[in-house]
């Protein structure tokens, strides 16, 4: 996963201070500064339930996925909002029933993973964190973590399959089965 933070209930910069000894002060300063700058510009919830929030130190972006009001079981609707390092807000309303994991944006995949979690099909670690890890791997492969386009469509199944095969090749059978389970979530 790229250098960033993701939590169900928000972000605490306290964890960044602990990492100073391991990776130097640049990491802690970047996380702390980005968290402080964006704390004042929290994305308005509008009465919606926040499912998870992210912060990427590599590009200074933050975001949050909300369960939108008025959605139905046939058409689960999520609102994904993000701010880039300059503070520009981007929002998308996503009908998860229309998302194709073989060809969708990061925003759509994050809404899809949030829905898997919210509907009880998988835990936070099994759904959201795997989607974030697949995004990081795809970004690293494209050398594009610092300039990631959240709207660009990618094949998430392919990214997850590559991570699954990598885990297997490294003898990480637990990791292999976790990725296999995530791929199964993508196609219920």
> Please, what's the largest Cα pairwise distance for the chain?
49
Kindly list the domain boundaries of the chain, sorted by start residue.
4-186
* 104-162 pLDDT, tens digit each: 998 998 898 889 888 888 777 677 777 777 777 666 655 555 566 778 888 888 888 88
Could you tell me the strand order of the sheet in which 89-95 lies?
Answer: 4-7, 49-56, 61-67, 77-83, 89-95
Q: Whole-model pTM?
A: 0.70
């Amino acid at each position: 996963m790229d250098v960033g933070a993701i939590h169900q209930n928000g972000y605490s910069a306290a964890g960044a201070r602990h990492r100073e000894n391991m990776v130097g002060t640049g990491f802690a300063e970047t996380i702390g500064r980005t968290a402080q700058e964006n704390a004042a510009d929290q994305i308005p919830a509008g009465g919606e339930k926040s499912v998870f929030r992210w912060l990427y130190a590599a590009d200074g972006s933050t975001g949050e996925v909300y369960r939108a009001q008025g959605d139905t079981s046939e058409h689960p609707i999520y609102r994904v909002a993000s701010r880039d390092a300059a503070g520009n807000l981007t929002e998308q309303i996503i009908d998860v029933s229309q998302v194709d994991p073989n060809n969708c944006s990061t925003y759509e995949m994050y809404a899809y993973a949030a829905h898997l979690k919210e509907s009880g099909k998988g835990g936070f670690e099994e759904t959201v964190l795997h989607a974030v890890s697949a995004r990081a791997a795809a970004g690293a492969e494209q050398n594009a973590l610092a300039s990631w386009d959240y709207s660009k469509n990618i094949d998430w199944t392919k990214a997850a399959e590559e991570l699954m095969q990598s885990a297997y090749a490294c003898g990480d059978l637990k990791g292999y089965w976790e990725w296999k389970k995530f791929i199964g979530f993508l196609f219920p």
